[in-house]
């Protein structure tokens, strides 16, 4: 089974992808995490994507597709995409890739959160510099301010969670990613979940979509 999660940055795709991929035994593909790993490793690819990411712009489609195809060529589990595709061109590239492998997308899940809520969440997001755990200083703060509950390392604001960059990412989503909703909506595999609920409630709604299927 292959699944795509769609939604604004900050809609909770990453959180839901972790839960769902474990539950269904799928491989969680986060292009954002892949690029952040390359940045941390200071690889040539990391250097190439750095300027796009810190500015809140999209990495060019060609590069995204190349990196993904290389990473996924030997993966045999079902794929759960989080943060990809982000443009119609990426979606077409993915369709062609699946077709060449005799596979298809089984479900597209749109996690629907209002824009104002997304901006609030991203501004309040802190990420652990040690283990990557995500906090929200308003709704799910750590026990001790600025320190991870799990590994006690400092919590940081992601470079692209700074106010100016958040506005850019929201605009990029509207311009380049939102058109994917109509791309997939007519396909018969499109599902929508109310992403303004608590993470556990969203997970329950999504799980219900797959009850008895995995
Ligand atoms: P979020 O969904 O919270 O914006 P991600 O971790 O998914 O964060 O992505 C962070 C950044 O990585 C994006 O702003 C963009 O620069 C880059 N990126 C991730 N996925 C893609 C993609 N599919 N196409 C182009 N750029 C991407
Ligand atoms: Zn931690």
Question: Residue 185 sits in a domain of what CATH number?
Answer: 3.40.50.300
CA gap 112, 96 in Å, rounded: 27
Per-residue pLDDT of 131-164, as tens digits, reads 989 899 988 999 999 999 999 999 999 889 999 8
Task: Using the mean position of ligand 2's atoms as its centre, give its distance from the Cα of residue 147 in Å.
Answer: 8
State the pairing for strand pair 125-128/134-136.
Answer: antiparallel
Task: Using the mean position of ligand 2's atoms as its centre, give its distance from the Cα of residue 2 in Å.
Answer: 30
- Is 64 among the domain residues? no
pLDDT beyond 70 at 214: no
Q: What is the pLDDT of residue 212?
A: 67
Q: Quick one: what percent of the chain has pLDDT higher than 90?
A: 89
User: Across residues 4-14, what is the average pLDDT?
Assistant: 95
Model pTM score: 0.90
- Is 82 among the domain residues? yes
- Is 39 among the domain residues? no
- Is 49 among the domain residues? no
Q: Into how many domains does the chain fold?
A: 1
Which domain covers residue 84, as residue numbers? 3-26+77-209
Instruction: Name which of 16, 52, 65 is nearest 169 in CA terms.
Output: 52
User: Across residues 10-32, what is the average pLDDT?
Assistant: 94
On the 0-12 / 13-18 / 19+ scale of CB atoms within 10 A, 24 is: middle
Q: What is the pLDDT of residue 213?
A: 65
Handedness of CA 157, 42, 28, 173 (dihedral sign): positive
Per-residue pLDDT of 166-202, as tens digits, reads 999 999 999 999 999 999 998 889 999 999 999 999 9
Q: Report how far apart the first and last C-alpha atoms of the chain are (Å, whole number).
A: 8
- Is 121 among the domain residues? yes
Q: Which residues surround ligand 2, an ion (CB under 5 A)?
A: 128, 130-131, 133, 148, 150-151
Instruction: Point out the residues that are catalytic.
Output: 13, 86, 125, 158, 169
**Ligand 1 proximity of 160 Cβ (cutoff 6 Å):** yes
User: Across residues 6-32, what is the average pLDDT?
Assistant: 95
- Is 57 among the domain residues? no
């Amino acid at each position: 089974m292959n699944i795509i999660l769609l939604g604004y940055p900050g809609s909770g795709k990453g959180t839901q992808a972790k839960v769902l991929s474990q539950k269904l035994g799928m491989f969680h593909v986060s292009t954002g995490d892949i690029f952040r790993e390359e940045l941390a490793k200071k690889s040539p690819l990391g250097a190439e994507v750095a300027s796009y990411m810190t500015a809140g712009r999209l990495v060019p489609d060609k590069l995204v597709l190349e990196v993904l195809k290389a990473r996924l060529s030997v993966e045999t589990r079902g794929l759960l995409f989080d943060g990809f595709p982000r443009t119609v061109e990426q979606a077409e590239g993915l369709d062609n890739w699946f077709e060449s492998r005799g596979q298809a997308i089984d479900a597209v899940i749109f996690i629907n959160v209002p824009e104002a809520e997304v901006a609030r969440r991203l501004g309040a997001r802190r990420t652990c510099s040690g283990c990557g755990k995500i906090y929200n200083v308003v709704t799910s703060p750590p026990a001790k301010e600025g320190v991870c509950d799990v590994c006690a390392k400092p919590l940081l604001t992601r470079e692209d969670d700074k106010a100016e960059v958040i506005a850019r990412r929201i605009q990029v989503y509207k311009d380049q990613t939102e058109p994917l909703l109509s791309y997939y909506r007519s396909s018969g595999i499109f599902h929508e979940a109310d992403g303004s609920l608590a993470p556990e409630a969203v997970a329950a709604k999504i799980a219900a979509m797959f009850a008895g299927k995995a």
